[in-house]
Amino acid sequence: MELTTFVQTMANSVVSGSIYATVSVGLALAFGVMKMANHAHGEFFMLGAYVVYVFYALAGMPFFLAVLAAIPTIAALGLLTERLIFRPTRGNVLAGFMATAGLTWILQVLAGRIWGLGFMKMIPTPYMGAANIAGAQIGLQRVLIVPAAVILLGFLWFFLHRVRLGKGLRACAQDPDAAALQGISINKMTSLAMGIAGAYAGVAGALMAPIHAVTPYMGRDLLITAFIVVIVGGMASIEGAVLAAFILGFIHTFVTTIFDATSAIMVGVAFMAFILIVKPTGLMGRAKA
Protein backbone atom coordinates (compact mmCIF):
# COMPACT_ATOMS: atom_id res chain seq x y z
CA MET A 1 0.00 0.00 0.00
CA GLU A 2 1.39 3.38 -1.00
CA LEU A 3 1.76 6.12 1.58
CA THR A 4 -0.92 8.29 -0.04
CA THR A 5 -3.42 5.45 -0.10
CA PHE A 6 -2.47 4.60 3.47
CA VAL A 7 -3.04 8.15 4.71
CA GLN A 8 -6.29 8.32 2.77
CA THR A 9 -7.48 5.04 4.27
CA MET A 10 -6.45 6.13 7.76
CA ALA A 11 -8.46 9.33 7.39
CA ASN A 12 -11.47 7.43 6.08
CA SER A 13 -11.19 5.02 9.01
CA VAL A 14 -11.35 7.88 11.47
CA VAL A 15 -14.39 9.26 9.66
CA SER A 16 -16.30 5.96 9.71
CA GLY A 17 -15.19 5.34 13.30
CA SER A 18 -16.69 8.72 14.23
CA ILE A 19 -20.00 7.86 12.57
CA TYR A 20 -20.14 4.40 14.15
CA ALA A 21 -19.36 5.91 17.54
CA THR A 22 -22.06 8.59 17.24
CA VAL A 23 -24.65 6.00 16.22
CA SER A 24 -23.63 3.32 18.72
CA VAL A 25 -23.42 5.41 21.92
CA GLY A 26 -27.18 5.91 21.76
CA LEU A 27 -27.74 2.20 21.33
CA ALA A 28 -25.43 1.38 24.27
CA LEU A 29 -26.96 4.09 26.47
CA ALA A 30 -30.53 2.90 25.84
CA PHE A 31 -29.47 -0.68 26.46
CA GLY A 32 -27.76 0.29 29.69
CA VAL A 33 -30.86 2.01 31.05
CA MET A 34 -33.55 -0.64 31.59
CA LYS A 35 -32.30 -2.84 28.73
CA MET A 36 -34.00 -1.10 25.84
CA ALA A 37 -32.68 -2.72 22.67
CA ASN A 38 -33.80 -0.68 19.72
CA HIS A 39 -34.00 -2.44 16.37
CA ALA A 40 -35.31 0.76 14.77
CA HIS A 41 -32.08 2.62 15.61
CA GLY A 42 -30.93 2.30 11.99
CA GLU A 43 -34.23 3.84 10.88
CA PHE A 44 -33.65 6.77 13.24
CA PHE A 45 -30.38 7.27 11.37
CA MET A 46 -32.25 7.04 8.05
CA LEU A 47 -34.87 9.59 9.12
CA GLY A 48 -32.12 11.94 10.29
CA ALA A 49 -30.83 11.93 6.72
CA TYR A 50 -34.34 12.61 5.41
CA VAL A 51 -34.68 15.61 7.74
CA VAL A 52 -31.63 17.11 6.02
CA TYR A 53 -33.15 16.21 2.66
CA VAL A 54 -36.38 18.04 3.50
CA PHE A 55 -34.93 21.11 5.21
CA TYR A 56 -31.73 21.56 3.25
CA ALA A 57 -32.24 20.11 -0.24
CA LEU A 58 -35.96 20.91 -0.57
CA ALA A 59 -36.60 23.91 1.69
CA GLY A 60 -33.20 25.51 1.13
CA MET A 61 -32.28 26.10 4.75
CA PRO A 62 -28.58 26.31 5.61
CA PHE A 63 -26.99 22.86 6.07
CA PHE A 64 -25.98 23.57 9.65
CA LEU A 65 -29.55 24.46 10.66
CA ALA A 66 -30.92 21.39 8.88
CA VAL A 67 -28.56 19.18 10.89
CA LEU A 68 -29.65 20.92 14.09
CA ALA A 69 -33.29 20.37 13.11
CA ALA A 70 -32.67 16.63 12.96
CA ILE A 71 -31.81 16.56 16.68
CA PRO A 72 -35.22 17.48 18.18
CA THR A 73 -37.15 15.70 15.40
CA ILE A 74 -35.54 12.30 15.88
CA ALA A 75 -35.27 12.78 19.67
CA ALA A 76 -39.06 13.21 19.68
CA LEU A 77 -39.37 9.96 17.73
CA GLY A 78 -37.16 8.29 20.35
CA LEU A 79 -39.40 9.58 23.15
CA LEU A 80 -42.47 8.29 21.32
CA THR A 81 -40.86 4.87 20.84
CA GLU A 82 -40.06 4.70 24.54
CA ARG A 83 -43.58 5.63 25.55
CA LEU A 84 -45.44 3.40 23.09
CA ILE A 85 -43.15 0.37 22.80
CA PHE A 86 -40.46 0.12 25.45
CA ARG A 87 -42.57 1.11 28.45
CA PRO A 88 -45.28 -1.53 27.85
CA THR A 89 -42.66 -4.22 27.22
CA ARG A 90 -40.33 -3.22 30.06
CA GLY A 91 -38.56 -6.14 31.71
CA ASN A 92 -38.54 -8.17 28.51
CA VAL A 93 -35.62 -7.30 26.24
CA LEU A 94 -36.59 -9.62 23.42
CA ALA A 95 -40.18 -8.36 23.25
CA GLY A 96 -38.98 -4.76 23.03
CA PHE A 97 -36.45 -5.64 20.38
CA MET A 98 -38.94 -7.58 18.27
CA ALA A 99 -41.58 -4.86 18.60
CA THR A 100 -39.07 -2.29 17.35
CA ALA A 101 -38.33 -4.67 14.47
CA GLY A 102 -42.00 -4.10 13.61
CA LEU A 103 -41.39 -0.36 13.97
CA THR A 104 -38.53 -0.69 11.48
CA TRP A 105 -40.95 -1.97 8.85
CA ILE A 106 -43.46 0.77 9.63
CA LEU A 107 -40.86 3.54 9.30
CA GLN A 108 -39.36 2.06 6.12
CA VAL A 109 -42.77 1.82 4.45
CA LEU A 110 -43.73 5.34 5.54
CA ALA A 111 -40.45 6.82 4.30
CA GLY A 112 -40.86 4.97 1.01
CA ARG A 113 -44.48 6.14 0.63
CA ILE A 114 -43.77 9.76 1.52
CA TRP A 115 -40.51 10.36 -0.33
CA GLY A 116 -40.63 7.54 -2.87
CA LEU A 117 -38.38 4.62 -3.59
CA GLY A 118 -36.36 4.29 -6.75
CA PHE A 119 -33.74 6.95 -7.27
CA MET A 120 -31.71 8.00 -4.32
CA LYS A 121 -32.16 11.55 -3.16
CA MET A 122 -29.68 14.04 -4.55
CA ILE A 123 -28.37 16.18 -1.75
CA PRO A 124 -25.89 18.83 -2.87
CA THR A 125 -22.64 18.82 -0.92
CA PRO A 126 -22.67 21.96 1.25
CA TYR A 127 -18.91 22.12 1.83
CA MET A 128 -16.99 21.75 -1.41
CA GLY A 129 -13.27 21.33 -1.63
CA ALA A 130 -10.85 18.92 -0.05
CA ALA A 131 -8.19 18.96 2.61
CA ASN A 132 -4.72 17.92 1.57
CA ILE A 133 -3.04 15.67 4.15
CA ALA A 134 0.34 14.22 3.11
CA GLY A 135 -0.74 14.12 -0.51
CA ALA A 136 -4.08 12.49 0.17
CA GLN A 137 -7.25 14.35 -0.74
CA ILE A 138 -10.06 14.14 1.78
CA GLY A 139 -13.39 15.83 1.06
CA LEU A 140 -14.20 18.60 3.54
CA GLN A 141 -17.68 17.16 4.04
CA ARG A 142 -16.08 13.98 5.39
CA VAL A 143 -13.52 15.83 7.49
CA LEU A 144 -16.33 17.82 9.08
CA ILE A 145 -17.77 14.65 10.61
CA VAL A 146 -14.76 14.14 12.88
CA PRO A 147 -14.95 17.39 14.91
CA ALA A 148 -18.74 17.08 14.97
CA ALA A 149 -18.44 13.60 16.50
CA VAL A 150 -15.82 14.78 18.99
CA ILE A 151 -18.08 17.63 20.12
CA LEU A 152 -21.11 15.32 20.38
CA LEU A 153 -19.25 12.60 22.30
CA GLY A 154 -17.57 15.18 24.54
CA PHE A 155 -20.95 16.71 25.28
CA LEU A 156 -22.38 13.30 26.17
CA TRP A 157 -19.43 12.57 28.49
CA PHE A 158 -19.89 15.95 30.17
CA PHE A 159 -23.62 15.34 30.52
CA LEU A 160 -23.23 11.86 32.01
CA HIS A 161 -20.44 12.72 34.43
CA ARG A 162 -20.94 16.35 35.42
CA VAL A 163 -24.66 17.08 35.14
CA ARG A 164 -27.07 15.93 37.82
CA LEU A 165 -29.55 14.49 35.30
CA GLY A 166 -26.82 12.55 33.52
CA LYS A 167 -25.56 11.15 36.82
CA GLY A 168 -29.12 9.97 37.45
CA LEU A 169 -29.00 8.20 34.11
CA ARG A 170 -25.82 6.38 35.07
CA ALA A 171 -27.23 5.50 38.47
CA CYS A 172 -30.28 4.06 36.77
CA ALA A 173 -28.07 2.00 34.46
CA GLN A 174 -26.12 0.66 37.44
CA ASP A 175 -29.05 -0.36 39.61
CA PRO A 176 -32.60 0.74 38.76
CA ASP A 177 -34.04 -0.27 42.12
CA ALA A 178 -31.45 1.58 44.15
CA ALA A 179 -31.83 4.58 41.86
CA ALA A 180 -35.61 4.54 42.32
CA LEU A 181 -35.09 4.44 46.11
CA GLN A 182 -33.00 7.58 45.81
CA GLY A 183 -35.96 9.32 44.22
CA ILE A 184 -34.87 9.01 40.59
CA SER A 185 -37.86 8.50 38.34
CA ILE A 186 -37.24 5.45 36.16
CA ASN A 187 -39.79 6.56 33.59
CA LYS A 188 -38.09 9.93 33.27
CA MET A 189 -34.70 8.25 32.83
CA THR A 190 -35.86 5.79 30.16
CA SER A 191 -37.46 8.68 28.26
CA LEU A 192 -34.28 10.69 28.55
CA ALA A 193 -32.12 7.77 27.38
CA MET A 194 -34.28 7.14 24.32
CA GLY A 195 -34.40 10.86 23.57
CA ILE A 196 -30.60 11.04 23.60
CA ALA A 197 -30.34 7.82 21.57
CA GLY A 198 -32.71 9.24 18.96
CA ALA A 199 -30.91 12.59 18.85
CA TYR A 200 -27.49 10.98 18.30
CA ALA A 201 -28.72 8.56 15.63
CA GLY A 202 -30.57 11.40 13.92
CA VAL A 203 -27.64 13.79 13.91
CA ALA A 204 -25.34 11.05 12.57
CA GLY A 205 -27.77 10.41 9.72
CA ALA A 206 -28.03 14.13 9.07
CA LEU A 207 -24.25 14.51 8.83
CA MET A 208 -24.01 11.52 6.50
CA ALA A 209 -26.84 12.65 4.19
CA PRO A 210 -24.68 14.49 1.61
CA ILE A 211 -22.11 11.67 1.31
CA HIS A 212 -24.35 8.61 1.59
CA ALA A 213 -27.09 7.26 -0.67
CA VAL A 214 -30.30 8.38 1.04
CA THR A 215 -32.88 5.58 0.71
CA PRO A 216 -35.50 4.16 3.11
CA TYR A 217 -33.24 1.13 3.58
CA MET A 218 -29.99 2.93 4.42
CA GLY A 219 -30.31 2.09 8.11
CA ARG A 220 -30.30 -1.65 7.57
CA ASP A 221 -26.59 -2.28 7.03
CA LEU A 222 -25.64 0.20 9.70
CA LEU A 223 -27.79 -1.55 12.31
CA ILE A 224 -25.77 -4.77 12.16
CA THR A 225 -22.53 -2.79 12.43
CA ALA A 226 -23.89 -0.76 15.34
CA PHE A 227 -24.90 -3.89 17.22
CA ILE A 228 -21.53 -5.52 16.58
CA VAL A 229 -19.94 -2.36 18.01
CA VAL A 230 -22.16 -2.54 21.09
CA ILE A 231 -21.46 -6.26 21.64
CA VAL A 232 -17.70 -5.84 21.19
CA GLY A 233 -17.74 -2.81 23.48
CA GLY A 234 -19.49 -4.70 26.26
CA MET A 235 -23.26 -4.22 25.73
CA ALA A 236 -24.02 -1.32 28.07
CA SER A 237 -20.62 0.38 28.18
CA ILE A 238 -20.49 3.74 26.39
CA GLU A 239 -16.71 4.03 26.58
CA GLY A 240 -16.48 0.48 25.23
CA ALA A 241 -18.81 1.37 22.37
CA VAL A 242 -16.67 4.34 21.37
CA LEU A 243 -13.48 2.25 21.46
CA ALA A 244 -15.12 -0.59 19.53
CA ALA A 245 -16.57 1.87 17.00
CA PHE A 246 -13.11 3.12 16.06
CA ILE A 247 -11.69 -0.43 15.89
CA LEU A 248 -14.57 -1.47 13.62
CA GLY A 249 -14.11 1.71 11.58
CA PHE A 250 -10.48 0.78 10.95
CA ILE A 251 -11.29 -2.86 10.16
CA HIS A 252 -14.10 -1.97 7.76
CA THR A 253 -12.24 0.76 5.92
CA PHE A 254 -8.98 -1.14 5.52
CA VAL A 255 -10.63 -4.39 4.43
CA THR A 256 -12.87 -2.46 2.01
CA THR A 257 -9.85 -0.71 0.49
CA ILE A 258 -7.77 -3.86 0.16
CA PHE A 259 -10.56 -6.34 -0.69
CA ASP A 260 -14.23 -5.34 -0.91
CA ALA A 261 -17.17 -4.16 1.20
CA THR A 262 -18.69 -7.63 1.63
CA SER A 263 -15.46 -9.00 3.07
CA ALA A 264 -15.26 -6.00 5.39
CA ILE A 265 -18.53 -6.87 7.14
CA MET A 266 -17.51 -10.53 7.29
CA VAL A 267 -14.19 -9.66 8.95
CA GLY A 268 -16.11 -7.42 11.37
CA VAL A 269 -18.36 -10.34 12.39
CA ALA A 270 -15.37 -12.67 12.70
CA PHE A 271 -13.72 -10.08 14.95
CA MET A 272 -16.84 -10.01 17.11
CA ALA A 273 -16.89 -13.82 17.36
CA PHE A 274 -13.21 -13.73 18.35
CA ILE A 275 -13.84 -11.17 21.09
CA LEU A 276 -16.78 -13.21 22.40
CA ILE A 277 -14.62 -16.32 22.61
CA VAL A 278 -11.63 -14.72 24.34
CA LYS A 279 -13.59 -12.18 26.42
CA PRO A 280 -17.33 -12.88 26.60
CA THR A 281 -18.00 -9.63 28.46
CA GLY A 282 -16.78 -7.49 25.58
CA LEU A 283 -13.90 -5.03 25.67
CA MET A 284 -15.12 -2.88 28.57
CA GLY A 285 -18.21 -4.65 29.81
CA ARG A 286 -18.72 -6.03 33.26
CA ALA A 287 -21.63 -8.42 32.77
CA LYS A 288 -21.92 -11.25 30.29
CA ALA A 289 -23.68 -10.20 27.11
Partner 1 sequence: MLKHKVLSIIGVVALIAVMSILPFFVREYYVEILIIFLINVILAVSYRLIATTGDWTLCHVILMGAGAYASALMAKYFGWPFFMTAPLAGATVCLVGLGIVYPLLRTVGFGFFITSLAVGEFIRLSWIKFHIPFGGPRGMIDIPEVGIIGPIDFYEAIPYYFMTLAITLVCLFILYRIDRSRIGKAFKSIYEDDILAESIGINVGRYRTFAFVIGSFFAGIAGALLAHRLGAIDPHIFALDEMVYLLVWVIVGGSATFAGPIIGVAVMTLLFEWTRPLLEWRPLFFGIILIGFLIFMPGGLESLIPKFTRLFGNRKAAQAKAEQPGGAEKSVV
Residues at the interface with partner 1 (CB under 8 A): 35, 37, 85, 88-89, 92-95, 97-99, 101-106, 108-110, 112-113, 220, 224, 227-228, 231, 235, 260, 262-263, 265-266, 269-270, 272-273, 276-277, 280, 288-289
Shortest distance in whole angstroms from residue 272 CB to partner 1: 6
> What is the rounded distance in angstroms from the CA atom of residue 17 to the CA atom of residue 33?
24
Shortest distance in whole angstroms from residue 286 CB to partner 1: 13
Shortest distance in whole angstroms from residue 285 CB to partner 1: 10
Q: Residue 88: left (phi > 0), alpha (psi -120 to 50), or beta?
A: alpha
Cβ–Cβ contacts within 10 Å for residue 240, how many? 24
Shortest distance in whole angstroms from residue 277 CB to partner 1: 5
> What is the rounded distance in angstroms from the CA atom of residue 230 to the CA atom of residue 215?
24
Return the number of the residue (106 or 178) whose C-beta is nearest partner 1: 106
Return the number of the residue (89 or 257) whose C-beta is nearest partner 1: 89
- CA angle in degrees (0–180, nearest 5) for 181-163-190: 50
Is the separation of the CB atoms in 95 and 85 below 8 Å?
Answer: no
Return the number of the residue (71 or 265) whose C-beta is nearest partner 1: 265
Return the number of the residue (104 or 191) whose C-beta is nearest partner 1: 104
> What is the rounded distance in angstroms from the CA atom of residue 261 to the CA atom of residue 255?
7
Is the separation of the CB atoms in 23 and 222 below 8 Å?
Answer: yes
Return the number of the residue (37 or 206) whose C-beta is nearest partner 1: 37
